[in-house]
Amino acid sequence: MERIEKDTFGEISVDASKFWGAQTERSLRNFKIGTDKMPLEVIDAFAFLKKACATVNVSMGKLSEAKGVAIKRACDEILSGKLDEHFPLVVYQTGSGTQTNMNVNEVVAHVASERSGEMIHPNDDVNMSQSSNDTFPAAMHIAAYQKLQQELLPELDKFERVLKEKKEAFMEIVKIGRTHLQDATPLTLGQEISGYEAMVSRAKRFIEESGKELLPLAIGGTAVGTGVNAPDGFGDEVARELVKLTGSSFVSDKNKFFALSSHSPLNFVHGALRSLAADLMKIANDIRFLASGPRSGIGEISIPANEPGSSIMPGKVNPTQCEALTMVAAQVMGNDTTIEVASSQGHLELNVYKPVIIFNFLQSVKLLSEGVRSFRMHTLDGLQANEQAIQEKLENSLMLVTALNPHIGYEKAAQIAKAAHEKGTTLRAEAVNSGFLTADEFDEWVDPLKMTNL
C-alpha cells in the first residue's frame, strides 16, 4: 500500500509502512548511488539534537509544551533502535546532508503526530530554529565524539594493558635486535614490546586530546552562520541540553561561520586516527615477522593457531589477525585522504562534502575499534616467546661484536666479525684466534644482558 505525501514540489507516493515523507522519498529516487547508507550513529546524534532543540524551543516559548513532549518521545524511539528501518538514505546525496536532516524531521514528525494525535510539521516544528547547515555538522561532531569515547578509546585501554602484561612477562628474555632487517645489538623481548606499548599509549593520548576539538557545535548558526531564524542564545542552550542528554561537554562554537564552512576539527582528529593506524601497521607487521616460520623464518615468538591457513598445505597456520589489522590500517589511511580532500572543499559559507566526511570518519573508528579488539583477543593475548629460537639466534649473531668496540676498537672488532662470517665460525673462536683478546676477556666483555642496559 502507498500513501500520498506533499512538499513544495507537489505530491509523491510513499510506501505506507514507512514513516518518512516526501523529501526522503525524492532523495531515495534521485540518489541511487552505491550501497553505503548514512550511518545510524549520525541518526542517533540527530535524535539527541532534535530532542535538545525541542526542549529549548519550548523553554523559549516558540513551541508548545505538547508538541515538545511529542517530539522528544519520538526522538527517544529513534534512540531505542526501533525505527532504524526508516532511515534509508545513502551517503552520496546532497553535500550539506539536508536530505538526512529532513529524513529525521519527517520521521520524528510522523511518529510524534501519530503517537500524540497532534499535527506536527517536520519543518515548522521539528526543524524549528534550525537549518540543515548547522544541524548536520553538529550531528557529525556528536556522532564522532561519542563513537571515540564509547568504542575506540576503551579498546585502546585494553590493548595497552595486554601490551604492558607482555612487556613485563618478557622483560628479561634477551634477543637479537634488528635494524634495516639485519642483525643488530641485543635487547630484550620486553623492551621491544615496550615500544609497542608506548605507541598505543601516545596514540590514545593524541586521540583524547584532539577529540576535544569536536566538542564545539555548529548549532545556532542556521543557514550561513549568522543565526538567522534562531533566537539569541539558542545554540548555547541546545549545547547545555546535549550535555545533560549525552554526558559529553558539548558547547556552541563561538564562530558559526567557521563551524559551517570548515571541517578542520574532524580532519585534525582523523589525523590522530591515521597515526594510530600507522602504529598498528608497524606492530602487526613486526609480530608477523617475528612469528614467521615456524621452522624457516625468524620464529622468535609464537601466535595462536586460530584456523587452517591454507586450502592446499596441511597444517599451515598463517598470521591472519596481523593481515586483517594491516588491512584495517590501509583502509583508515585511505579514509584519511578522502577526509582531507573533502575538508578542503569549504567553498564560501558552507562545506558541501559533509556526508562523505562523517561516513569515512565513523568507518575508521569502527574498523580500528573492532580490529584492535580482534587482534588483542585472537593474537596478542596468546602471544608466547620461543626462548629456544631466541637463544640460538642470539648466540649465532655477529653483532654481539659491538661490545668489543670500547676495548679493542671498531676496526679490530670488524675484522673479527668478518672472519667469523666468512669462515662460518663463532665470534668467540675468531676473537681468540685474532690475538686481540683472550677467551676470558671475550666472556667478560660480550654479555648480551649487559648490552641491553636493562
β-strand partners of 175: 187
Judge whether 133 is annotated as a binding position: yes
Q: Is 396 annotated as a binding residue?
A: no
17 is in an annotated binding site: no
Positions of the chain with pLDDT under 50:
none
Cβ atoms of 163 and 379 closer than 8 Å: no
Query: Is the peptide bond between 294 and the residue preceding it cis, with omega within 30 degrees of 0?
Result: yes
* Domains of the chain: residue spans and CATH: 2-128 (1.10.275.10), 152-226+248-388 (1.20.200.10), 398-452 (1.10.40.30)
Residues 6+ apart with CB under 8 A from 180: none
Q: What is the pLDDT of residue 89?
A: 98
Catalytic residues: 180, 310
Is position 98 annotated in a ligand binding site? yes
Percentage of the chain modeled with pLDDT above 70 = 100
Question: Is residue 318 part of an annotated ligand binding site?
Answer: yes
Tens digits of residue pLDDT in 10-42: 999 999 999 999 999 999 999 999 999 999 999
- Residue labelled with grid coordinates 620464529: 299
With vertex at residue 168, the alpha carbon angle to CA 163 and CA 172, rounded to the nearest 5 degrees, is 130
Q: What are phi and psi of 374, to 5 degrees?
A: -65, -45
110 is in an annotated binding site: no
Which single residue is written with the C-alpha cell 573508528? 365
CA-CA distances (angstroms) from residue 353 to 96, 133, 270?
A: 7, 12, 16
Whether residue 296 is annotated as binding a ligand: the answer is no
Contact, 27 vs 89, CB < 8 A? yes
Cβ count near 29 (within 10 Å): 9
The whole-angstrom separation of Cα 47 and Cα 76 is 7
341 in a known ligand binding site: no
Q: Return d(Cα 342, Cα 334) in angstroms, integer.
A: 13
pLDDT for 311 equals 87
Residue 123 annotated as binding? yes
232 is in an annotated binding site: no
Please give the C-alpha separations between residue 160 and each of 165, 206, 291, 415, in angstroms, as whole numbers.
9, 14, 20, 43
Residue type for position 195: G
